[in-house]
Amino acid sequence: MISGPSGVGKSTIADRVLRLFENMRRSISYTTRPPREGEKEGENYFFVSEGRFRGLIEDGSLIEWAEVYGNLYGTGIEYVSTNLEQGWNLLLEIDIKGGESVKGKLPRSVLIMVVPPSLEALEQRLRGRKTDREGDIRRRLDNAISELRHWSNYDYVVINDRLEDAVERVRGIIRSEMARSSRIKMIKSVDKER
């Protein structure tokens, strides 16, 4: 799972990392927000009404969910389970609380927090996107300070000071985690035969 404050570069890092692993795919979340230009149903998100989303919460179909800037986002248990059973490694781009929630339910998951080199750099990135009003930028910066306090709950922290370096650090973490003996199915099957 990749988490971090808004504007830190999570999506860009996730996009690049996904291209580096054949056996990895992005987890697709549910959201109540409308699709942005170029986004596709079932590829970027599962776009649902608030009523449908609340139904997913009530029937326990979400492994985590949160309200973010007035919209609901959540990860479906069935989607995660099905993909893991099929042998896929999933990359979840998720908020801090969601990451901690998933880790509590799936302890073998790996949490990576992407952080900015400084709050000033994060503010420059948010302003450079030119998608937010001043009040939104202030709120995102305040939220970033609160979110960054959770760094010690994460398995890894990656500073996104230079995009190529951050991508390489995340790639290295994933490669190391994939090589852990506890994750290798062949070794487990050989042990069972003894």
Q: Which fold has domain 2-193?
A: Rossmann fold (3.40.50)
Q: What is the pLDDT of residue 191?
A: 47
For residues 134-149, average pLDDT: 87
Q: What is the pLDDT of residue 184?
A: 64
pLDDT in tens, 76-111: 999 999 999 998 999 999 888 888 888 888 888 999
Entry pTM: 0.82
Percent of the chain with pLDDT over 90: 56
Q: Which long-range contacts (CB under 8 A, 24 or more apart) does 97-104 make?
A: 97/64, 97/66, 98/1, 98/3, 98/64, 98/65, 98/66, 98/73, 98/74, 99/1, 99/3, 99/64, 99/154, 100/150, 100/153, 101/63, 101/64, 102/1, 102/63, 102/64, 102/75, 103/1, 103/153
What is the domain partition of the chain in residue ranges? 2-193
